[in-house]
Amino acid sequence: MDKVFVQGLEVLTTIGVYEWEKGIQQKVRFDLEMGYDNAPAALGDDINKALDYAALSQKVTRYAEQNHVELVETMAEQIAQLILTEFAVQSVKVRLTKPNAVANAAGVGVEIERFAN
């Protein structure tokens, strides 16, 4: 299976379970990997047959900015479903990192993988 990825997509959003977090924006980082057949695009050197990772990145950014949740698990699931619904991918892996959530860690988060029906 071919893969298309977007690495280190940073977004400011409101996320967190604590009251103080609900009134601020925090940075989250997305690493996205999509299962996608790149052969048709490569064979014809045709951008129209490639997965538009710029449009995908814009949709993920806009969604995360506009939808506030408490859990990184919830955001990761919603982003996975957004990508599966909006783009012709066979699978998606979402790694969502919340930097600086734990004082002595570079980041914490979740990684999930979902498949198209």
- Active-site residue (options: 22, 27, 59, 98): 98
DSSP symbols for 10-62: EEEE-B-SSGGGGGS-EEEEEEEEEE---HHHHHHT-GGGS--HHHHHHHHHH
Known active-site residue 98:
yes
Query: Cα-flanking dihedrals φ and ψ of residue 18, to 5°?
Result: -85, 145
Between CA 100 and CA 107 the distance in angstroms is 5
Active site residues: 98
